[in-house]
Amino acid sequence: MNYDLPPEFEEAVVRRIYRRAAELDWPRLSDAERTVQYQYWIDDPEIGGKLLLFIKKPEAVRVWMKDTPMKEYARAVNGVGKFAKYVDTVKFDRLALIAKVLGPGWTEVPDSQKVKPLRITVRSDEDEENERRLCWGPPRDIKHLVWRAVLDQANGDSVPWVICVVFPAVAPATKSQIASHERLAARLSLEIVCVNT
């Protein structure tokens, strides 16, 4: 449901939620841990207390938090979307990702960024015909990353895909996870790379 919140009010609430999500390392939380956190936010006078002035029902406040700012959180920390301006520090550097995954000599094609999942087209500096679709996300989103690549290729996209599963430095990819992604890549004829940030 869409609520018409005053912009300055929405900004204050979303900034507070995003600061707390960053402290918690939101992408690493389980669904159960996220459920608990939503309840804390509802009980927080600076978040839920303020939202209740406009939304009126605690269960609707939770739905708004989940479906509005937190649905956009991954994109926002990547500097993308309406809520990106509410993130204190954009944590993700696409240029660094390109270099880490493909090495030097690759450049993002202007205006190629798409979302759901986040992806860009990159081109070799030495050969303009040599392009890749580069998409990325946390381990929990592997199914979305793979599905987008499979769908696009099934619909005629001939550009090779490189799927980056981004692991936080505090919980780097394990040998087992890397092996699992290698088997998946081989099965689907895709390139899947585990990246520790």
C-alpha–C-alpha distance, residues 191 and 117, integer Å: 16
Identify the band that residue 143 occupies on the pLDDT scale cut at 50, 70 and 90.
very high
Mean local confidence (pLDDT), 131-147: 93
pLDDT at 152 > cutoff 90: yes
C-alpha–C-alpha distance, residues 113 and 111, integer Å: 6
Peptide bond into 117 cis (omega under 30): yes
pTM for the model stands at 0.73
Give the mean pLDDT of the chain. 91
C-alpha–C-alpha distance, residues 38 and 175, integer Å: 33
Query: Which tens digit of pLDDT belongs to each residue from 157-191?
Result: 999 999 999 887 777 899 999 999 999 999 999 99
